[in-house]
Structure 1
Amino acid sequence: MLAETTLNNVAYFGANAAMVTNTFNEEDLWGAQLGDSNTAGDVLVPEELQILPDPITREQLTDLYYKNHYSSLPMVQREVLRVCQENVHIPHCLLLCNAVYYCGSMYSPNAITLRRDVNDEGSVGEDFFMRGQGMLEKKYLTTHICTVQALLLFAIGHKSQAQRSAFISQAITMALDMGLHNKLDDSVNPYVRAYRARTFWCCYLFDSTASAINGKPGLINDEEIGIDMFTAGELGPESETFSDQYIIHCLHGWQLCRRIRKNSNLITRPSPPPRSVESAQGVRVCSL
């Protein structure tokens, strides 16, 4: 089982950095990092809310998520999801599980059984969304990488554009507050550094896309980014390397676009002369 993280085995890196565990079990590198980091009190999910699909449905939805979503957005590794499934008593673990199932349900061939309303095709997966939304209430909401990932996944499938934008903004704001954009000391376990970097760059992708679609400035300031791009193949099997290469290619493209947009904003046209000056010039031309 996943060990609970306490103040005895966490440390801070940077002014706004999130807590990073120093204690690792070689057989379970994810355990301590995914543990409950809510130091204000151990708020756990009561058993009646620890609802997951049956094992067969869970496996099907997980496979659908990795087949249809992970290929273009390699964010939640299988090992991370496995640990979360084993620890649904922790709010952010249950939240991420429901977000993954929510995305997977969009491609399920048995969509009718996954509808909240049997007569409404648009209600597929809404049970997972509603359960996840329950974990976003103040009592259970914890600032954690899993929470950031879940918010981004919920943004993918939600029908409301306003709600999608809200989820993305919340995820990016939380990621910045956690300091995911800051470079950690080399003494931090490489798995943790890679996990944080991967999640941040996924936030960067969402921020860039939302900014381009909505025509508004992004929430992430490129000049404040201190971490390097994650490496293809980190934390996952070799079969996922292509997905990593794809998103890294997209991220480099967005970096270039953001740089071009920033530079173009620096080139300002001189403001037009006042109307009184234009009128005076017109009078002189006419008199000639």
Structure 2
Amino acid sequence: MSNELPACQKCKLRKVRCDRQAPKCTSCTKGNVACIIVDPASGEQYARDYIRQLEVQEAELKARLDEKAAGRPETSHSTIEAPQATPAGLPTGGSHTSHGGFVGDGSGLGFLRSILSEAKWQRHRTHILNQLATRPGIQQLHLSPNPLPAVQEAEQLLENYFTRFHIHHTFLLRQEVLSTFNRVYNASATSLDQDYFRLLMVFAISATTRYRAGITNDHPYGYFMAAEDYLGRIPLIRDIDAIQNLLLVARFGMYHHIGASLWEISQLCMRQCIEWKLHLKPAHPLDPLVEQHRRRVFWECYVLDRYSSGILGRPFAIAESDIEVELPFDADDDYLVNSSITSLDLMPKRGPGPSEVSVFIICIQLRRISSRIHSTFYSSRSAVASSANSFGRSTEFKSIGHVYTAFTRLRSELNEWRATAPIFLYPRSLYERPEWHDFLHEKDMLLLARGAMHNVPSKPYAGAAVKEILTACYVSASRIIELYSTLMEKRAITWTRSYFQVIFTAGLTVTFCISLELLKSSIETDFEQRHPARTLALCSAILSYFKDKMPDAASAAVVFDVLKDECLKDNLSRVETSNPNQDSMHDSGAHSVQNNSSVMT
């Protein structure tokens, strides 16, 4: 073990020098908080004092071994006894977990392994694995911090934030944001460091779509750099304000590299939520807006945890069974403030039509369904699952009947979710569009169907139930690609690594389904409506577009093209020769993507 431990989580997030002292660094000692370090290899969290105790024990054991080797009797030592109870600094997951890598259920590598296991793919295996192992460097931006924008530009950034981002992640209170804006831009008002940090982070998030659409020349990262100057003077580990500060950083990190792990931030957020008992119902009555805000902060942390843990295949930070708090109440803040009811639980339902938090609520509901999908079908949700078996089948399923029963139950939940999603007559942003709700529905349908396929007890795949699950895989994957392309054509969606992963996984799924050679006989109608060659060509064009925007995604895009070309040659040659429109389908797919260089979210 290295004598010098990494910088603690608090110092890393603040980007200040950590003196790495045991049992606590100076910064954590002053702040009276736990000095937590993260293992760079496994991502597990440990208290620095716990590591110090282990090092002392290790040194004493080595001394004993040296004495035995030299033939000397053991001397007495003042040994630090191993604690009887589990130390506070033990890792959050199972300590005996094997960490060969962190790739989650959403990555699609389960299908890639199945494809590469076939004999006909062996000649491509080395090239594909080498390509995936290539990790191009992240493009470095040479920028300087942005100053506060003029009032008119600031007002436009604020409006864009409320319209395009706030409705999706409604953890800030609208009135608090407006009050912060007024304090910063009113010369006679007193503003705090946190006011500047919060407002600059709101500007950074909002500027992402405006900059990508060419509306402004101010790069969003410049606002983030300006906000970073305040990190050392605002709370990141303390209370609900600290959690909101971290959530703003995480939201920006969905669009840009920030030099910190979103998963680590999510763990820190949820740890503080639990300390403040945000996951529980209030022990005493609270003002309705205060309780609503606590709910919104907790559920935003929940969404971030489920997203980041699912991407990396790590255990969730909190079990569903430990959550007691209700979802946010479906109403605007003004409705709660102006109501004479003093309890959120007794608040009457507001009138018909969506509210400011309606989109946020349905996203939470969908995350809860996807959490049940993970727990049911993916063994990597277990704290002791290793990366080697994260795509293996669960031992719960004794037969295809058990798999199919779980599949149909969760499919019904997803279909019910889609049927009850709010309808916006005049969508103002991506998150109010029905196509985006369809996209989310198909994305989790694909997660469900893939999980079911991985748990089918035996191969070859046969039988009506298996073909139904396979059909769901193919249709959802095709729909994901089509829907994303449609949203791109409308310039309604922007690019993120999350979207790239979804499209890449969908493309692999289509390739996997084609390689089984069951499609033509089992889903002929869907095969005709969603021609695999057209779908794969469209997927390739979208991934190529991503590659241009995110050069570090190039390896996966190249791998997909290798698989696509081989798949079409081996499995669809007869169909291609009988389809005179094949070239035009490929050209139209590429053309529709290449003509959308500026997209909005």
Bin of the TM-score, shorter chain as denominator length: 0.5 to 0.7
Whether 1:111 aligns to 2:216 is: yes
Who is 2:168 aligned against?
72
Partner of 1:132: 227
| Partner residue, 2:201 | 99
Change (3 A) 1:179 1:86: farther
Structure 1 257/140 Cα, relative in aligned 2: closer, same or farther at 3 Å?
Answer: closer
Contact map agreement 1:149 1:199 (CA 8 A) in 2 = yes
For the residues of structure 1 that align with 2:277 and 2:199, how far apart are their CA atoms?
24
Q: Hey, what's the Cα distance between the residues in 2 that align with 1:93 and 1:144? A: 16
C-alpha change, 1:170 and 1:95, in structure 2 (3 Å) is: farther
Check conservation: 1:61, 1:105, Cα contact below 8 A: yes
Which residue of structure 2 lines up, in the alignment, with residue 208 of structure 1? 306
| Structure 2 letter corresponding to 1:235 | D
Determine which of 238, 245, 249 is the counterpart of 1:150.
245
Could you report, residue by residue, the CA deviation over 1:125-155 in whole angstroms, capped at 9, with x for unpaired residues?
Answer: 2232123222222x43253434323322322
Mapped partners of 1:204, 1:100: distance in 2:
21
- Residues 269 and 181 of structure 1, relative CA distance in 2, 3 Å threshold: closer
Alignment correspondent of 1:141: 235
Contact 1:98 1:131 in 2 (8 A): yes
Contact 1:92 1:147 in 2 (8 A): no
1:128 partner amino acid: Y
Unaligned runs of 5+ in 2: 1-30, 32-146, 185-190, 336-349, 383-393, 398-601
Give 1:234 shift: 4.1
Aligned residue number for residue 59 of structure 1: 155
Matches within 5 A, 1:238-249: 241-249=354-362
The answer to whether 1:217 aligns with 2:344 is no
CA distance in 2, matches of 1:189, 1:127: 38
- For the 8 Å contact 2:266–2:305, the answer to whether it is kept is yes
Deviation at 1:269, TM superposition (A): 6.7
Partner deviation per Cα, 1:157-212 (whole Å, 9 max, x = no partner): 33227625144333333333333223213422111100110111111111111122
Structure 1, residues 73-132: CA drift from partner, whole Å, max 9, x if none?
2232321202223455333333221211111111224421x1xxxxxxxxx122321232
Higher Cα radius of gyration: 2
Partner amino acid, structure 2, of 1:247: F
> 1:59 offset after TM fit, Å?
0.5
Alpha-carbon distance change, 141 to 86 in structure 1, aligned in 2, over 3 angstroms: same
Structure 1 residue aligned with 2:257: 160
Distance in structure 2 (CA, Å) of the matches to 1:241 and 1:164: 34
Which runs of structure 2 are paired with 1:223-234 in the superposition (5 Å)?
223-234=321-332
1:236 and 1:147 mapped to 2: Cα distance?
25
Distance 1:152 1:99 in 2: 10
Structure with higher RCO (Cα < 8 A, 6+ apart): 1
> More deviation in 162-171 or 243-252?
162-171
Deviations for 1:12-56, whole angstroms, at most 9, x for unmatched residues? Answer: xxxxxxxxxxxxxxxxxxxxxxxxxxxx8xxxxxxxxxx743321
How many equivalent residue pairs?
210
The TM-score with structure 2 as length reference comes to 0.32
Question: Quick one: structure 1 residues 258 and 177, their matched pair in 2 at CA, closer, same or farther if it must change by over 3 Å?
Answer: same
Instruction: State the superposition RMSD in angstroms.
Output: 3.1
Change (3 A) 1:152 1:140: closer
1:225 is aligned with what amino acid? Answer: I
Give the Å deviation of 1:262. 2.8
Return the alpha-carbon distance in structure 1 between the equivalents of residues 156 and 248 of structure 2: 18
Contact 1:154 1:164 in 2 (8 A): no
Alignment correspondent of 1:258: 371
Q: Within 1, Cα distance between the matches of 2:277 and 2:196?
A: 23
Does the aligned pair in 2 maintain the 1:103–1:154 contact within 8 Å?
no
Contact kept? 2:332, 2:355, Cα under 8 Å: no
Aligned position for 2:178: 82
Output the CA distance in 1 between the equivalents of 2:227 and 2:317: 25
Paired AA for residue 188 in structure 1: L
Report the Cα offset of residue 61 of structure 1: 0.6
How many Å separate the matches in 1 of 2:353 and 2:162?
10
Match of 2:274 in 1: 176
Corresponding residue of 1:34: none
Alpha-carbon distance in structure 2 between the residues aligned to 1:210 and 1:147: 19
Cα displacement (A) at 1:63 = 0.8
The 2-side partners of 1:240 and 1:164 are apart by: 38
In the superposition, relative to structure 1, how do residues 168 and 135 fare at CA in structure 2: closer, same or farther (>3 Å)?
Answer: farther
Structure 1, gaps ≥5 residues long: 1-39, 41-50, 115-123, 271-288
TM-score, normalised by the number of residues in structure 1: 0.62
> Is 1:194 matched up with 2:288?
no
Pair 227,203 (structure 1): closer, same or farther in 2 beyond 3 Å: same
What is the alpha-carbon distance in structure 2 between the residues aligned to residue 152 and residue 103 of structure 1? 12
Take 2:354 and 2:228, find their aligned partners in 1: how far apart are those partners? 32
SS in 2 for 1:81: helix
Structure 1 residue 65, shift from structure 2 partner = 0.9
Distance change (3 Å), C-alpha of 1:53 and 1:220: farther
Q: CA deviation at 1:240?
A: 9.3
3-state SS, counterpart of residue 329 of structure 2: coil
Distance 1:83 1:240, change over 3 A: farther
- In structure 2, what is the Cα distance between the partners aligned to 1:236 and 1:83? 15
Tell me which residue corresponds to 1:268.
395
Aligned counterpart, 1:31: none
